[in-house]
Structure 1
């Protein structure tokens, strides 16, 4: 890649998602508009395969080695603590072996793909993959409907509210775990679409006896562990991650989150869109789960999540400021009325709005929240392009709200809607503006007058 080529975009899928380009569709025609209109090459898109039900740690390791190549190393300590082999599959050639601070990458994470990239940057920073790697290898992190701070839906589906990661019998989560084990056991003969990355766990019929398989169906050591996606979406897991500084912003990385809400969960929404029958069909199940999120009783959670404990002091000042203080609305939600509905219950059918913003409370990170009136789903007109005339600021979350949108409205399933086209076109302009700023900064550095060399002779005898 030359210095003028667009920086590639790595796409990281979410929970139970591993179809890649098969369902993501023709988004590149729209995401490359900014490059094409400026006479540049098209941006390369890279689909990185990670375990669709694996923990954030395992997914981040798989993401790293799929890009640079080599044998997936989950780490001796982590593997020992979680009862699986240290090494996973081998990538004889990485998808982007030249990855470095000089040759960085953009990342787009949908759903659990967002926290996966955050985990990756944290592991790189802490030297997990070696001291030669640096967080500046990640030029930007862009997320859609990412559960940075967990979701109450995981409890509704079966996670025990007082004893996570235990899963309730006869719950959706319990039956889902059984299905995952069946797919894992049969993985050698299933198509790539069902790739669960189970090499390190020895769950296939090549590595596991039928008796062991039946034992896992009765009670799953994986699903009811702290090393799987469901536990990582619990509020207690989020507290543990944030306590280790996972999710802090880095000065040279650009951050952007796209946060969706269904209209019936967000009373202030004024956006209406005509939906096709296919969009309505895909959205019906999410309307049901959104109601479960709306009715969830936070008072049943033990231990009490940190975001609930830290909110009482902000209640009085926040409730008088409406949307301007929405990000501070983290208080007694079971009896809080409409204000708290906005704060914790507005959702996209899977993830509450506050969790999609970014890691940490707003007071503990750097962020700017754009109003619904500045929705990127309305398209990028000539007048709106002015927001990309100047380079965006790094080291701060740029939070955009997507009204009347559910968890799958934008990605991964391509339906060719105007909203999807507008999203990808806007993302292309955003990424190009980042690269323009990066090139200008390098040009200034290369043309700067060097400081004069000082020798001992300059001080006289």
Structure 2
């Protein structure tokens, strides 16, 4: 009984912290937009001009030129619960890092949709056309095969002679890796693709091998797909279903979980459909076609089994942690340096022990290897792909070790930071924010070298 009470108290506290943080982000975005409107209204002489200018910017698709003299674009891919440019008003998921270069795109992908579906969305966002999730996948997962239509891609010139630099945060990294494998496998009908469409991939606190946090949030370690009956994720599931079912257009334009292809709106399903969704008979949570199963250790092992590190692509990784060793124990490294939303999870993940009654998630698994973490992901998961096979890697102590850079190797650094240190709130990271992103952008522009106008040699 005592254990049950403690569990319910922990669930209540975790739920309140996450809800309050979500409300803070949402209200900050709304307040910023209202402030801009009020400022415009106080300047009547320029109001009409500014309104027209704003409408043009919102209505016009940003299309980057593929001219040979121009550098490759940099695409920033958000993680779980993230958003791209145009969502949440003027708020930036990457805290304004996209302003550091003229050729940067920040796509808005589903914040809770599966890695597969987000990879498909990302391709058509860049290349243009109607999103095709694939016939076999769509039937298996119970959603529409086709999704959003991009009349004009944001980088229609994209090919192996006009490649792209990708920077992914958290789950966004796996989205790009899956996309690159799809390009290599030529899975996009009507397009002759290859893995060399990706020039470089930078992982920022990337979920390369899954996370033990998923089990604290509600995924069962038995299979990595089923949810506990009472958990944070169950509450999240109910909230998402109601949000999509109520389907308030202006609200979904402001923030969208990305499940439109499941057609969960009351207009499509009615009351009976809502009951089926809540009872788990239909929808993304019934089929497992959403992001959390992909982030368990079992789900990541399954995903990684089909992914390669390619010989002509440059790979970089920034792993983060907020833990330290004390008297042989792994503990949170500080109180003030960890975001309140993450502090409890940092401590819990330090103490995680895989249940002895269930099979180990992979051969060679050890609880101690997964103790260091940043509150959302384990540090061992963020360095480079490790399970089921370890990919070529190089631990970087000094950036001079990276010159000249070699493709096909994961260069990785370990930084003292929690999982959201370098996103949303720029002031929180301080000077480290500029040092990090300036380094990433400079490397993309100066040190990642490939003669993209000559034939590319494949192994």
Name the TM-score, length of structure 1 as normaliser. Answer: 0.76
- Which of 269, 276, 290 is equivalent to 1:228? 290
1:413 positional shift = 3.4
Show the 5 A alignment for 1:395-406.
Answer: 395-403=408-416, 405-406=417-418
- Which of 215, 220, 224 is equivalent to 2:276? 215
1:118 positional shift = 0.5
Q: Flag structure 2 segments of 5+ consecutive residues without an equivalent.
A: 1-65
**Partner-residue secondary structure (3-state), 1:210:** helix
Show the 5 A alignment for 1:151-170.
Answer: 151-170=211-230
1:220 positional shift = 6.3
User: Which residue of structure 1 lines up, in the alignment, with residue 246 of structure 2?
Assistant: 186
Whichever of the two has the greater Rg, that structure is: 1
Aligned residues: 379
- Which of 378, 389, 401 is equivalent to 1:352? 378
Deviation per CA, 1:181-228, whole angstroms, max 9, x where unpaired? 122123342142322222321111232212211332233642243311
Provide the C-alpha distance between the structure 2 equivalents of 1:350 and 1:166, rounded to a whole number of angstroms.
19
- Does 1:370 pair with 2:435? no
- Does 1:8 pair with 2:77? no
- Which of 435, 445, 456 is equivalent to 1:422? 435
- Which of 282, 301, 308 is equivalent to 1:239? 301
Show the 5 A alignment for 1:11-160.
Answer: 11-20=76-85, 22-23=91-92, 24-28=94-98, 31=100, 42-130=101-189, 132-160=192-220
- Does 1:295 pair with 2:351? yes
1:291 positional shift = 1.1
C-alpha spacing 1:361/1:155, structure 2 compared with 1 (3 Å):
closer
Q: Flag structure 1 segments of 5+ consecutive residues without an equivalent.
A: 32-41, 312-329, 334-339, 375-383, 446-461
User: Which residue of structure 2 lines up, in the alignment, with residue 250 of structure 1?
Assistant: 310
Assess if the C-alpha contact under 8 Å between 1:257 and 1:399 holds in 2.
Answer: yes
Provide the C-alpha distance between the structure 2 equivalents of 1:267 and 1:207, rounded to a whole number of angstroms.
58
Of 95-104 and 296-305, deviating more is 296-305
Assess if the C-alpha contact under 8 Å between 2:320 and 2:419 holds in 1.
Answer: yes
Assess if the C-alpha contact under 8 Å between 2:84 and 2:106 holds in 1.
Answer: no
Of 90-99 and 17-26, deviating more is 17-26
**Partner-residue secondary structure (3-state), 1:394:** coil
**Partner-residue secondary structure (3-state), 2:285:** coil
1:364 positional shift = 3.0
State the Cα RMSD in Å. Answer: 2.8
1:358 positional shift = 1.8
Of 209-218 and 229-238, deviating more is 209-218
Deviation per CA, 1:366-399, whole angstroms, max 9, x where unpaired? 100123xx4xxxxxxxxx6x667x4411111011
After the TM superposition, list the runs of 4 or more consecutive aligned residues in structure 1 that deviate by more than 6 angstroms. 265-268, 272-275
1:298 positional shift = 1.2
1:251 positional shift = 1.1
Assess if the C-alpha contact under 8 Å between 2:204 and 2:317 holds in 1.
Answer: yes
Assess if the C-alpha contact under 8 Å between 2:323 and 2:333 holds in 1.
Answer: no
**Partner-residue secondary structure (3-state), 1:299:** coil
Assess if the C-alpha contact under 8 Å between 1:235 and 1:305 holds in 2.
Answer: yes
User: Which residue of structure 1 lines up, in the alignment, with residue 445 of structure 2?
Assistant: 432
Provide the C-alpha distance between the structure 2 equivalents of 1:273 and 1:103, rounded to a whole number of angstroms.
44
Provide the C-alpha distance between the structure 1 equivalents of 2:153 and 2:174, rounded to a whole number of angstroms.
22
Provide the C-alpha distance between the structure 1 equivalents of 2:253 and 2:107, rounded to a whole number of angstroms.
13
Provide the C-alpha distance between the structure 2 equivalents of 1:267 and 1:52, rounded to a whole number of angstroms.
40
Of 130-139 and 180-189, deviating more is 180-189
C-alpha spacing 1:273/1:304, structure 2 compared with 1 (3 Å):
closer
User: Which residue of structure 1 lines up, in the alignment, with residue 58 of structure 2?
Assistant: none
Assess if the C-alpha contact under 8 Å between 1:18 and 1:193 holds in 2.
Answer: no
C-alpha spacing 1:391/1:258, structure 2 compared with 1 (3 Å):
same
Assess if the C-alpha contact under 8 Å between 1:110 and 1:412 holds in 2.
Answer: no
Provide the C-alpha distance between the structure 2 equivalents of 1:66 and 1:3, rounded to a whole number of angstroms.
21
- Does 1:410 pair with 2:436? no
Provide the C-alpha distance between the structure 2 equivalents of 1:165 and 1:355, rounded to a whole number of angstroms.
19
